[in-house]
């Protein structure tokens, strides 16, 4: 960490301290967690709904930190010879440090958001850019107000680029993350129905996603899927710079029949049109052919965006047949589970992601079963969106569906799936496993997907037995 005490004085003025300090001295590793803090670190006590990092200040002092910040709401004691700053908001201060570090590093920053596919696209971009050198990317759920600055602070001048995932649960959140990161490239994977219960409409979701351009470098670029009229409209009101649009022949964004076209984009054409060979798992991009690292049309679009990012950064794209893709648990995982092939998508679910996973499931030889669960945060649209998704599953000709119900959709889902050879609606993952196992034969294919709260990953051990 090359940030010095002099840098922090420029941010917040002189520290509270009765001892002289060397202003050119580095502030040390920045830590928010006393469980991993070390002597000489700089401590930032964050405050959340159920915790207050200030409660651990004494532990940090005893370990031997060299400096810290504290909130102006903190009423505790600080040693008189200790160097610290008093700030209105420690989280905001943490983000300011991260932005300062980002500017000092002067590395390319790629920011990724979208309703579906953020994590997959982030990981594909990281893998495609890896020939440049070490790529610092978000880990796990580092896509929020704490995670994005934490990722930035991991970077060093020996690294090649940052790839940051940016999540959203309301207006203003992605704008804050954009302010922290100052991206060079922004990727918006899509605008779907996830969080529509919070934001009220896809139009509002598009507006919230377009906040990623708030602090995009003026010479930067936004990469989006071609044909999303709501996203085009939102961006036209917020961003005047370059937009690169990508498309795949035969790939529709209108999976649920809800892509509003009241903002028909006149005279706009895709910058890249790719073809995919799903039988042999290839994509054709900018005159070259590449092996798709992940299965499914939706993942081909995610990969196309990663290839476009590499092109924008001037990377010569070669030798991508053995990409190191490190997907988190419960996302894009094909697992040999006992005698069955399981598409493990247990991390979360939205209408678009469920449909994409169902369409991948039915490409597998053999019978097809799905364990699906309630999709949360869909608000007043919940019933109609569940109906559309379940009807699509039925139309695909699945051999069976067991649905884990968390709410009011219990009865109407029974009616939709009743004509399948095997069907059930249950309340718990264990009940789902019991029903499913009574139908299965060796060689069957199973999709497991539902909202995080349902914990559908607990079904996997039953299948392994």
What was the pLDDT predicted at 76?
A: 87
How confident is the model over 36-50, as a mean pLDDT?
95
Whether pLDDT at 330 is above 90: no
More confident residue, 288 or 109: 109
Strands 288-291 and 333-337: unpaired
Q: Which residue has the tokens 């894009």?
A: 332
What was the pLDDT predicted at 18?
A: 67
Residues facing 161 on adjacent strands: 135
More confident residue, 409 or 116: 116
**Tokens, residue 176:** 């804050």
CA–chain centroid gap for 225, Å, is: 17
Element spanning 171, H or E:
none
* CA R_g for the chain: 24
What was the pLDDT predicted at 81?
A: 84
Whether pLDDT at 329 is above 90: no
Strands 333-337 and 340-345: antiparallel
Using pLDDT thresholds of 50, 70 and 90, give the confidence band for residue 381. Answer: confident
247 HSE (CA, 13 A, CB side): 13
What was the pLDDT predicted at 130?
A: 92
How confident is the model over 91-119, as a mean pLDDT?
95
**What is residue 192's DSSP assignment?**
-
Say what angle helices 351-361 and 382-395 make with each other, to 10 degrees: 10
Q: Which domains does the chain have, with CATH numbers?
A: 5-87 (3.40.1390.10), 107-312 (3.40.1190.10), 333-464 (3.90.190.20)
Q: What is the per-residue pLDDT across 284-327, written as a single tens digit (0 to 9) for each?
A: 998 899 999 999 899 999 999 999 999 999 998 877 767 878 77
Rounded Cα gap, residues 416 and 409, in angstroms: 11
- DSSP-assigned states of every residue in 224-254: EETT-HHHHHHHHTT--SEEEEEEETT--S-
What was the pLDDT predicted at 266?
A: 62
More confident residue, 329 or 398: 398
What was the pLDDT predicted at 271?
A: 93
Element spanning 177, H or E:
helix 173-181
**Tokens, residue 22:** 């060397």
Whether pLDDT at 72 is above 90: yes
Contact present, 94 and 32 (Cβ < 8 Å)? yes
More confident residue, 200 or 325: 200
Contact present, 142 and 151 (Cβ < 8 Å)? yes
Q: What's the chain's average pLDDT?
A: 91
What was the pLDDT predicted at 207?
A: 96
Residues near 137 by beta carbon (within 8 Å), at least 6 away in sequence: 122, 123, 125, 126, 151, 162, 163, 164, 165
- pLDDT above 90 covers a percentage of the chain that reads 71
How confident is the model over 64-91, as a mean pLDDT?
92
Residue 233 φ/ψ, nearest 5 degrees: -65, -45
Q: Please, what sign has the CA dihedral across residues 138, 350, 365, 363?
A: negative
Q: Is 204 helix (H, G, I), strand (E, B) or coil?
A: helix
Say what angle helices 118-129 and 297-312 make with each other, to 10 degrees: 50
Using pLDDT thresholds of 50, 70 and 90, give the confidence band for residue 261. Answer: low
Q: How many CB atoms lie within 10 A of CB 412?
A: 13
Contact present, 193 and 350 (Cβ < 8 Å)? yes
Q: What is the per-residue pLDDT across 225-249, written as a single tens digit (0 to 9) for each?
A: 999 999 999 999 999 999 999 999 9
Whether pLDDT at 257 is above 90: no
Buried b / exposed e across 330-351, counting CB within 10 Å, b at 16+?
bbbeeeebbebbbbbbbbbbbb
Whether pLDDT at 260 is above 90: no
Rounded Cα gap, residues 163 and 180, in angstroms: 13
Query: What's the length of the chain?
Result: 465
Using pLDDT thresholds of 50, 70 and 90, give the confidence band for residue 17. Answer: confident
Rounded Cα gap, residues 421 and 107, in angstroms: 55
Q: What is the per-residue pLDDT across 393-437, written as a single tens digit (0 to 9) for each?
A: 999 999 999 999 876 777 889 889 998 999 999 999 999 999 999
Percent helix, percent strand, percent coil in the chain, to nearest 5:
35, 20, 45
How confident is the model over 347-353, as a mean pLDDT?
89
- pLDDT above 70 covers a percentage of the chain that reads 96
Task: Give the long-range contacts of residues 80-84, CB within 8 A, separation 24 or more.
Answer: 80/18, 81/17, 81/18, 81/19, 82/17, 83/5, 83/15, 83/16, 83/17, 83/19, 83/21, 84/15, 84/16, 84/17
Q: What is the per-residue pLDDT across 145-196, written as a single tens digit (0 to 9) for each?
A: 999 999 999 999 999 999 999 998 899 999 999 999 999 999 999 998 887 8
Residues facing 424 on adjacent strands: 402
**Tokens, residue 48:** 């959340």
């Amino acid at each position: 960490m090359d940030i010095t005490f002099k840098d922090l004085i420029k941010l917040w003025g002189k520290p509270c301290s009765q001892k002289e300090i060397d202003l050119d001295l580095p502030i040390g590793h920045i830590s928010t967690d006393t469980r991993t803090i070390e002597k000489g670190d700089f401590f930032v006590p964050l405050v959340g709904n159920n915790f207050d990092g200030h409660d651990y200040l004494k532990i940090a002092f005893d370990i031997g930190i060299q400096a810290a910040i504290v909130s102006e709401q903190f009423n505790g004691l600080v040693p008189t010879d200790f160097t610290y700053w008093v700030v209105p908001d420690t989280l905001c201060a943490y983000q300011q440090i991260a932005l300062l570090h980002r500017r000092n590093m002067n590395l390319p920053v790629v920011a990724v958001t979208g309703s579906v596919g953020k994590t997959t696209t982030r990981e594909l971009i990281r893998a495609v850019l890896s020939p440049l050198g070490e790529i610092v990317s978000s880990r796990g759920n580092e896509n929020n107000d704490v995670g994005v600055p934490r990722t930035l602070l991991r970077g060093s001048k020996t690294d090649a680029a940052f790839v940051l995932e940016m999540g959203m649960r309301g207006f203003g959140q992605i704008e804050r993350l954009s302010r922290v990161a100052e991206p060079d490239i922004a990727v918006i994977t899509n605008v779907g129905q996830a969080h529509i219960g919070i934001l009220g409409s896809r139009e509002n979701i598009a507006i919230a996603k377009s906040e990623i351009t708030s602090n995009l470098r003026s010479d930067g670029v936004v990469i989006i899927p071609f044909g999303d009229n709501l996203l085009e409209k939102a961006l036209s009101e917020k961003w005047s710079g370059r937009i690169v649009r990508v498309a795949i022949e035969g790939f529709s964004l209108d999976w649920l029949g809800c892509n509003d076209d009241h903002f028909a984009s006149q005279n706009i054409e895709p910058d890249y049109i790719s073809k995919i060979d799903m039988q042999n798992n290839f994509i054709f991009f900018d005159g070259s052919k590449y092996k798709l690292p992940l299965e499914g049309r939706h993942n081909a679009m995610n990969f196309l965006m990663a290839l476009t990012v590499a092109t924008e950064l001037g990377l010569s794209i070669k030798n991508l047949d053995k990409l190191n893709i490190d997907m988190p648990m419960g996302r894009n995982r094909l697992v040999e589970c006992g005698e069955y092939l399981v598409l493990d998508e247990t991390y979360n679910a939205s209408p678009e992601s469920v449909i994409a996973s169902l369409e991948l499931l039915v490409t597998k030889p053999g019978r097809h079963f799905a364990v699906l669960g309630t999709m949360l945060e869909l608000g007043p649209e919940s019933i109609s969106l569940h109906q559309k998704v379940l009807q699509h599953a039925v139309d695909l000709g699945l051999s069976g569906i067991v649905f884990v119900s968390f709410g009011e959709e219990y009865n109407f889902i029974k009616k939709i799936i009743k004509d399948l050879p095997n069907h059930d609606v249950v309340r718990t993952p264990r009940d789902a496993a019991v029903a499913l196992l009574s139908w299965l034969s060796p060689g069957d294919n199973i999709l497991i997907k539902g909202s995080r709260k349902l914990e559908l990953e607990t079904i996997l051990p039953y299948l392994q037995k």
